[in-house]
């Protein structure tokens, strides 16, 4: 099995963590989607990471689809409940965390533009998305929907999203008044799967 992605993508990290937690062997192929020659495109016509190539040559892309494919392999531990509505609720939490990742990526790309060309309105929009989403995730962590002692699709996606915010310094001070999210990520970041997939330090 091959995972195509970049070491800095939170979406790729999410899939890497799932594979490591399940003990599934895979080869990591480092491809930067924003290079002039986009090597990702031969796996995903959209040119986005991650992409997963199975041992029999099937290619899957988009991290929620890949996560679902991995779950279909029925390899413990389960990352999604079997009951359909509970599974749907967990995938909605994944979508919320993925949205934080998306907003963070947009903000990073905007900040990479020359200062004179940056849109402050766009940056504010993305920060507001991130803050609203983190507030909701904090509520879920407070009521136990997101449990720091459980490793599942929702907690992994949430920790990967916050790990990206930390890495890119997109939302400094996000941890203020969000103690339950802090506990969640601190607990998960101690796991070997997260230690092995931490983005490289600049």
Q: What is the CATH number of the domain that holds 166?
A: 1.20.1050.10
Measured distance CA(191)–CA(66) in Å, rounded: 22
Nearest to 137 by CA among 81, 166, 172, 95: 95
Strand partners, 50: none
Residue 35 has pLDDT above 80, yes or no: no
Measured distance CA(51)–CA(65) in Å, rounded: 10
pLDDT at 64: 98
Tell me the mean pLDDT in the region 34-46: 79
To 5 degrees, how large is the angle CA 43–CA 33–CA 45?
Answer: 35
Clarify whether residues 95 and 162 are in a common domain: yes
CA atoms within 13 A on the CB side of 52: 25
Mean pLDDT estimate for the chain: 95
Look at residues 72, 96, 122 and tell me which one is the last residue of a structural domain.
72
Supply the Cα-derived Rg of the chain in whole angstroms: 17
Measured distance CA(101)–CA(44) in Å, rounded: 19
Residue 38 has pLDDT above 80, yes or no: no
Residue 124 has pLDDT above 80, yes or no: yes
Q: Per the domain annotation, does 136 fall within a domain?
A: yes
Look at residues 17, 43, 72 and tell me which one is the last residue of a structural domain.
72
Strand partners, 30: 5
Clarify whether residues 98 and 61 are in a common domain: no
* Residue 146: domain span: 84-191
Residue 50 has pLDDT above 90, yes or no: yes
Clarify whether residues 62 and 110 are in a common domain: no
Q: Which pair of tokens denotes residue 129?
A: 């998305």
pLDDT at 33: 74
- The sign of the CA dihedral 46, 48, 50, 56 is positive
Q: 143 CB contacts (<8 Å, ≥6 apart)?
A: none
pTM for this model (two decimals): 0.96
Residue 202 has pLDDT above 80, yes or no: no
pLDDT at 36: 59
Clarify whether residues 89 and 147 are in a common domain: yes
Q: Helix H segments across 57-178?
A: 63-72, 84-111, 120-142, 153-168
Q: Give residue 32's pLDDT band: very low, low, confident or very high (50, 70, 90).
A: confident
């Amino acid at each position: 099995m091959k995972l195509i992605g970049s070491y800095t993508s939170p979406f790729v990290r999410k899939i890497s963590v799932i594979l490591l937690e399940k003990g599934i062997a895979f080869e990591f192929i480092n491809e930067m989607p924003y290079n002039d020659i986009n090597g990702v495109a031969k796996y995903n016509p959209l040119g986005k990471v991650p992409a997963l190539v199975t041992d029999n040559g099937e290619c899957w892309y988009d991290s929620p689809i890949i996560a679902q494919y991995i779950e279909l392999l029925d390899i413990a531990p389960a990352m999604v409940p079997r009951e359909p509505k509970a599974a749907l609720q967990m995938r909605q939490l994944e979508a919320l965390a993925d949205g934080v990742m998306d907003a963070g990526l947009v903000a990073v790309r905007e900040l990479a533009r020359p200062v004179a060309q940056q849109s402050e309105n766009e940056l504010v929009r993305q920060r507001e998305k991130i803050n609203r989403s983190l507030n909701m995730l904090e509520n879920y962590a407070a009521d136990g929907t997101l449990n720091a002692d459980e490793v599942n699709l929702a907690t992994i996606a949430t920790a990967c999203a916050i790990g990206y915010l930390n890495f890119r310094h997109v939302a400094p001070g996000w941890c203020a008044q969000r103690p339950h999210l802090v506990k969640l990520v601190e607990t998960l970041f101690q796991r070997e799967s997260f230690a092995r997939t931490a983005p490289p330090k600049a």
